[in-house]
Amino acid sequence: MLLAFHYSGYDTGNAPVHGVVYAESRDFAYSRLKTNRVRATRLRLDPSATLRNWISSGFDARDLERFYRSFGQRLGNGTPAPKALESCRGILRDPKLRQAALAMQQQCLGGSELHAAMAFAGFPRRDSMLVRAAEVSGSTPETLKRLADDVRTQRTLRGSLSRVIAIPVATFAFLYVFLFVVVTVAAPKTLEFFSKTGARMPPFAVNYFEFTRAINDHLTLAWTIFVTLPVLLFAFTRTSTCRQVAESLPLVRELSVKAELAALWNGFAQLLRARIPPATAAIVVRDAARRSDTRGWFARFGHLLETGVFMREAVVRAGFPPLVATDVAAADESGRVPDELERMVREFEEDVIGLSARLSDVLFFASMLVLAAGIVVAFFLSYGPIMAIGLRNV
């Protein structure tokens, strides 16, 4: 598990530098900075950056798009790579990406080629391979701009998926906080009022107020549980078990699979366009897969291509869904494989946006039902005892 360390020091030109470095320990952080040709004079643990890295280990998509586009424009204007990287670092807010840009800069100053510097700095393997092919053909600025466009497309898709879950998350968060406030704030005041009046309480009200009294007598423990439960729930959402539960719904599974396939086949098409051998492209794409099924499909696909099987046959034997197999076979027969694959990817992207809208509608309706049920429960907990006591003492 990587930790984030904030550092201050000097680069090879004795210019002051500072930033965040990610490593397994303090010693590894010093070693990584030394490899990046940075002489660190101060190093301290950065808890907030460490937490952000645990939640999301990749680069910030918006910053990555900005970096690729800006870097490509500077190279296109004839700016040397080290100077272009230094100027790009100033527009980045993601500390991990800033550190990667610094590592690239130092590697370029040391004589490394751009694609090797990218691989060393931790950029996606597919991206570094595309840049390697572009360096041979002299089209590095254009390739970086295409990478920026690709990042923007993927960010748009992820944004659609994020908006799908925003409403139910907000609904459950509101109910969770509201019910806790009812139990810890409203219930004690209600109990105090009726204790002063000497009113007789029905069994339901007695049990309810005994429950709230127990919680308020151990308020520290209650607060600990109240804070811990969402953290545990968030951790659970990152597990394969949670994904399996969610994908028991056909709509969720279809959305997840098509979003993944859109990203992976787009990467495959870009690698083919850069004249990367199909078998190698399939292996690179396989390594970027997050789902076990798509990873298995591309692993078998790459193995079959290595053995000399035609693409149109390999995609069927690899186990891809029929729609994918049909489109890839048609692309292979057309002789314009990258173009046809990009057309298929655009169709997948449109499907993802449409499925996201459908799922959003379903979740919105379900969230409204849950919110209504939660309001009824909260009203019952708040005023139910009062009404019951009032009826008991009429």
Predicted confidence (pLDDT) per residue in 234-291, tens digit = 888 777 787 777 778 888 888 888 888 888 898 888 888 888 889 988 988 888 888 8
Q: How many domains does the chain have?
A: 2
Residue 2 clears pLDDT 80, i.e. is over it: no
CA distance 194 to 200: 8
CA distance 333 to 341: 12
Residue 42 clears pLDDT 80, i.e. is over it: yes
| 88 and 155 assigned to the same domain | no
Token pair belonging to 182: 């009812």
| 89 and 164 assigned to the same domain | no
More confident residue, 220 or 204: 220
Residue 347 clears pLDDT 80, i.e. is over it: yes
190 domain residue, yes or no: no
Single residue among 90, 125, 160 that ends a domain in this structure: 125
Paired strand residues for 8 = 18, 42
Say what the pLDDT of residue 297 is.
94
* Mean pLDDT across 114-127: 86
If one counts every other C-beta atom within 10 angstroms of the C-beta of residue 224, the result is 11
| 121 and 131 assigned to the same domain | no
210 domain residue, yes or no: no
Say what the pLDDT of residue 69 is.
92
Q: Work out the end-to-end distance of the chain between its first and last CA atoms, rounded to an integer number of angstroms.
A: 64
DSSP state of 184: I
* Mean pLDDT across 192-220: 76
Residue 211 clears pLDDT 90, i.e. is over it: no
Q: Are 131 and 114 in contact (CB under 8 A)?
A: yes
Say what the pLDDT of residue 167 is.
78
| 61 and 136 assigned to the same domain | no
Alpha helix (H) ranges present in 201-249? 203-217, 219-237, 240-246
Task: Identify the sign of the CA torsion 85, 90, 94, 98.
Answer: positive
Residue 386 clears pLDDT 70, i.e. is over it: no
Tell me which residue has tokens 């424009």: 73
Say what the pLDDT of residue 388 is.
62
Paired strand residues for 186 = none
3-state secondary structure of 96: helix
3-state secondary structure of 60: coil
Say what the pLDDT of residue 385 is.
63
Single residue among 64, 93, 125 that ends a domain in this structure: 125
214 domain residue, yes or no: no
Asked whether the whole model's pTM tops 0.85, one would answer no
Q: Which domain holds residue 47?
A: 3-125
Residue 169 clears pLDDT 90, i.e. is over it: no
Say what the pLDDT of residue 67 is.
92
Residue 125 clears pLDDT 80, i.e. is over it: yes
